[in-house]
Structure 1
């Protein structure tokens, strides 16, 4: 069974449990922390995958690393250890967060600009582009990219809206090259 299918099953079960116990917000915060810690500390994955470290010790590491996490999320992480599926931590977190965002009518967007955007600019951008993708609002991850020269490029899911000066110049170049090749 593919990794994404298995991660989806765990994420869906945790989502349903969160709904049932009215803890979606708590689980969402914990999944964001888990994702961040897992990505910033590759040594954690090495410990969790090490064949000579017993499962009980790995569970202890997880419990100590994520003190204050809900019993349900810790139990899910312990289950991943028992089933030798700790490689699913980040995909599970990604899938869970996507499911919560979908439930709340929210979508994550990566916005590339030449300078950092203000909160007001992010809110206006959210109000403008959220309806275009059928959502109520966007969670904007602003990334500065001076190569754009001006304007912005927005990635929402698998859709890209390119209003950057670099994008417009590239488009003009392609048109000129195709016109020269025909003539």
Structure 2
């Protein structure tokens, strides 16, 4: 489903509705945490994703699974929202709705998302340095890091903020050096 522009466009009004409920109840951050947890669960469980996407599984069965996942302490508004997605046969958009909600939350908080690829896990000090660099580039109030490990970059980092890419990886430096040598 990722990358499908039409489905993302359908998800936007649902994400906006969830944001509206969150703002009216002053729960934007709490919903943000819950949405991140849902996204993490969906990315870790392909079986759950397929279950929710399957149109032949009864709505009541999907609701029962969602209730078990959320547990007793889940926010009532979020639970009702997920049940609405099931009733409207839009639960297959859950991942897109969650991504759109987080984008709206970042916009509300003047936070930018920086995707960071490194060869090894970054220390706290390195993550802080990346955040400061991104704040300097974007004038954002806060930076949310989404890190990924890719040993193929050999060393250094690749930082992507929106359409800007900073390639400070050894692989990128070697590629640029190779291009300079071949053009000379």
Fold-level match, TM-score > 0.5? yes
Q: Secondary structure at the match of 2:10?
A: helix
2:35 is the counterpart of 1:40: no
Deviation at 1:84, TM superposition (A): 1.5
| Structure 2 portions without partners, runs of 5+ | none
| 1:170 Cα deviation after fit | 0.5
The answer as to 2:90 corresponding to 1:85 is: yes
Residue number in structure 2 paired with 1:141: 146
Match of 2:27 among 23, 29, 50: 23
CA contact (8 A) 1:45 1:86 kept: no
Which of 114, 123, 128 is residue 123 of structure 1 equivalent to? Answer: 128
| Bigger radius of gyration among the two | 1
Match of 2:104 in 1: 99
For structure 1, the residue ranges without an aligned partner over 5 or more in a row are none
> 3-state DSSP class of the match of 1:152?
strand
1:166 corresponds in structure 2 to: 171
Q: Report how far residue 21 of structure 1 moved.
A: 0.6
Q: Distance in 2 between matches of 1:149 and 1:57?
A: 47
Q: How many residues align?
A: 179
> 1:72 aligned to 2:77?
yes
Moved over 4 A (4+): none
Partners in 1 of 2:55 and 2:117 — Cα distance? 42
CA–CA distance in structure 2, aligned partners of residues 77 and 71 of structure 1:
10
Judged with a 3 Å threshold, the aligned counterparts in structure 2 of structure 1 residues 141 and 50 are, in CA distance, closer, same or farther, namely closer
Residue by residue over 1:37-87, the C-alpha shift from the partner in whole angstroms, topping out at 9 and shown as x without a partner, is 112122223333444432122212211111232111111211111121222
Q: TM-score, normalised by structure 1?
A: 0.87
Residue of structure 1 equivalent to 2:65: 61
Q: Give the Cα separation in 2 of the matches to 1:74 and 1:128.
A: 38
Task: Tell me, in whole angstroms, the C-alpha distance in 2 between the residues paired with 1:105 and 1:141.
Answer: 16
1:89/1:165 CA distance change after superposition, 3 Å:
same
